[in-house]
Amino acid sequence: MKEQAQNPQAAGERVVYDKCVCHEVLDHVRDFLGVSPEVKQHLANSRVELLKAVREVIDGRIERLSKQGQQGTKIAVE
């Protein structure tokens, strides 16, 4: 599941990364169906859009959590 890729900017260094789940699924769909280059491009674009949607969900949740003030207890000071 891990792929090795060479970074052209770092001479001789290898970078190891994990493919995302949607990339794995789309690779299997493409292999199974034997799709055309146009369909491959459409699937690549849809993967990007899916990841953007996930990012929006996470950003929205962060925003809601940030707006919620911490609830405390008022204490009367003499």
Burial letters for 43-61: b for 16+ Cβ neighbours within 10 Å, e otherwise? beeeeeeeeeeeeeeeeee
Q: Is 42 inside any structural domain?
A: yes
DSSP state of 3: E
Q: So what's the pLDDT on residue 16? A: 66
**What span, in angstroms and rounded, lies between the C-alpha atoms of 5 and 20?**
15
Q: So what's the pLDDT on residue 47? A: 86
- Torsion of the alpha carbons at 23, 27, 28 and 34, rounded to the nearest 10: 150
pLDDT tens by residue, the chain, 78 residues: 444 444 444 556 776 667 788 778 878 877 887 778 888 788 888 888 999 999 999 999 999 988 876 667 788 888
Q: State which residues form the domain around 46.
A: 20-56
**What span, in angstroms and rounded, lies between the C-alpha atoms of 25 and 13?**
29
How many domains are there within the chain?
A: 1
Q: So what's the pLDDT on residue 51? A: 92
Q: Is 61 inside any structural domain?
A: no
Q: Is 71 inside any structural domain?
A: no
Q: Is 47 inside any structural domain?
A: yes
Q: Is 72 inside any structural domain?
A: no
Q: Is 15 inside any structural domain?
A: no
Q: Is 40 inside any structural domain?
A: yes
Q: Is 10 inside any structural domain?
A: no
